[in-house]
C-alpha cells in the first residue's frame, strides 16, 4: 500500500483543455505492470474533489508515434499517440470510454543526448478488468448482458468517429463491478481508418484477432473490433478463451472449424492475399444461442447492431 502521510505535488495539464494545473496526490503505489507501461493507484486530493485515481506511466520505445487527429484538426508531434488520441475523443465524454483527467511528462535517465521521456496519464480508478472478473468466475448472465451492451455501445461510439481500437480484449476492458460500469481502455494501438488506405495486419492479440487480419489483409474497418468484441462475449460465457490458437495457422483452423471458412465474396471484400475455399457456416451451441455468433460472422457492417430485433430481445432483461 502507498504512504498516505506523504503528499506529492506534480505539474500537469488538465485534459482535454490542456490547462496547466498542480496535482496534489497521496498513497501512490504500483497496481499493475506491463512491458511498456506501469499503472499506479492513489488518491487525488486536488484539484477538484478527492477521488481515487490510476496513473498510467509509459516509456515509449523508439520514436514517438506521430498522430494527426484529422476529425479534430489538431496536430502535435511531441505528444504520445495515446495522449493525442484520448484528448480528441474525450472532448465529448462517453460513459463507456476511459476519460483522461490529466497528463504530465518526466525526463528520466542520465543520457542527455537521448533522454527517456516518461509520459503519465491520470484516470479515475477502475477496480477490475473484465479479465480478472472472468478469472474469478463472478459473472452471471445478467452481468454478461450488461457488460456486453456497454462494450458494444463504446465500440459504436468509436465507429462514429471512424476509429478502430485494434486491441479489444478482456484485460483492456475496465469494470467497476459494484456499480456495473464498463469502460474501454488502452488506446495505444488505435487509429482512424480510411477507405482504401493500408493498415498493418499485425494488430490485435491473436486470440481476439479477426480473420481478415489473420489472413494478412491490410484493408480493414472499424468492424474488425466487432470480431474481438464477440470473442470477449464468448469468453465471458465460456469462462475461457474462445479460440486459443498457439499460432496464426492454428488460430485460423480453430475459427474455420467452428464457423466455416469465409466465402469467396467475403475473401474478396477482405482484400486478402490468401486464397481459401468457402464452406457452409456451422453453428456453435451456446455461443450462437447467446448472440455472440452474429457478432463473430465475418463482414458484419451494420452500425445499428445494438438496435436489431435479435439483440433487442437479448438485452431486454437489462
Q: Residue 234 belongs to a domain with what CATH number?
A: 1.10.510.10
Residue 143 in domain: yes
Distance CA 19, CA 5 (A): 28
Residues 153 and 278 in one domain: yes
Give burial (CB, 10 Å; 0-12/13-18/19+) of 299: middle
In tens digits, the chain (318 residues) has pLDDT values of 778 899 999 999 999 888 999 999 999 999 988 777 899 999 999 999 999 999 999 876 543 333 323 333 333 443 456 666 676 676 778 999 999 999 998 877 666 667 777 889 999 999 999 999 999 998 999 999 999 999 999 999 988 888 888 899 999 999 999 999 999 998 888 887 776 655 555 566 889 988 877 876 666 667 788 889 999 999 999 999 999 999 988 998 898 888 777 666 766 665 555 555 444 433 334 443 444 444 454 444 444 455 554 455 566 666
Q: Which residues are catalytic?
A: 167
Residues 155, 77 share a domain? no
In which residue are the cell numbers 463482414 written? 299
Residues 87 and 217 in one domain: no
Give me the helix-helix angle, 224-238 and 141-159, nearest 10°.
170
CA distance 226 to 210: 9
**Based on the domain organization, do 68 and 189 belong to the same domain?**
no
Same-domain check for residues 157 and 96: no
| Domain range enclosing 21 | 10-124
Global confidence as pTM: 0.78
CA–CA dist 6, 205 (Å, integer): 39
Whether 64 maps to a domain, the answer reads: yes
Amino acid at each position: 500500500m502507498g504512504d498516505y502521510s506523504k503528499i506529492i505535488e506534480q505539474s500537469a495539464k488538465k485534459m482535454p483543455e490542456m490547462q496547466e494545473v498542480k496535482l496534489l496526490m497521496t498513497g501512490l503505489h504500483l497496481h499493475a505492470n506491463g512491458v511498456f507501461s506501469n499503472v499506479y493507484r492513489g488518491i487525488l486530493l486536488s484539484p477538484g474533489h478527492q477521488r481515487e485515481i490510476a496513473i498510467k506511466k509509459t516509456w515509449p520505445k523508439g520514436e514517438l508515434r506521430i498522430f494527426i487527429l484529422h476529425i479534430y484538426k489538431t496536430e502535435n508531434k511531441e505528444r504520445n499517440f495515446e495522449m493525442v488520441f484520448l484528448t480528441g475523443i474525450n472532448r465529448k465524454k462517453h460513459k463507456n470510454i476511459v476519460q483522461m483527467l490529466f497528463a504530465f511528462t518526466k525526463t528520466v535517465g542520465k543520457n542527455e543526448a537521448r533522454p527517456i521521456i516518461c509520459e503519465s496519464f491520470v484516470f479515475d480508478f477502475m477496480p477490475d478488468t473484465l479479465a480478472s472478473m472472468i478469472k474469478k468466475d463472478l459473472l452471471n448472465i445478467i452481468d454478461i448482458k450488461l457488460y456486453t451492451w456497454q462494450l458494444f455501445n463504446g465500440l459504436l461510439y468509436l465507429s462514429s468517429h471512424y476509429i478502430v481500437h485494434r486491441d479489444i480484449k478482456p484485460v483492456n476492458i475496465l469494470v467497476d463491478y459494484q456499480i456495473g460500469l464498463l469502460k474501454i481502455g488502452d488506446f495505444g494501438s488505435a487509429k482512424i481508418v480510411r477507405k482504401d488506405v493500408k493498415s498493418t495486419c499485425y494488430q490485435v492479440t491473436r486470440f481476439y484477432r479477426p480473420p481478415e487480419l489473420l489472413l494478412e489483409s491490410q484493408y480493414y474497418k472499424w468492424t474488425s473490433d466487432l470480431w474481438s468484441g464477440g470473442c470477449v462475449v464468448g469468453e465471458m460465457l465460456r469462462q475461457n478463451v474462445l479460440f486459443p490458437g498457439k499460432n496464426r495457422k492454428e488460430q485460423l483452423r480453430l475459427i474455420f472449424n467452428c464457423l466455416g471458412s469465409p466465402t469467396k465474396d467475403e475473401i474478396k471484400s477482405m482484400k486478402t492475399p490468401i486464397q481459401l475455399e468457402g464452406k457452409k457456416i456451422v453453428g456453435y451451441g451456446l455461443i450462437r444461442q447467446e448472440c455472440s455468433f452474429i457478432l463473430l460472422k465475418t463482414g458484419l457492417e451494420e452500425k445499428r447492431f445494438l438496435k436489431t430485433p435479435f439483440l433487442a430481445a437479448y438485452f431486454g432483461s437489462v
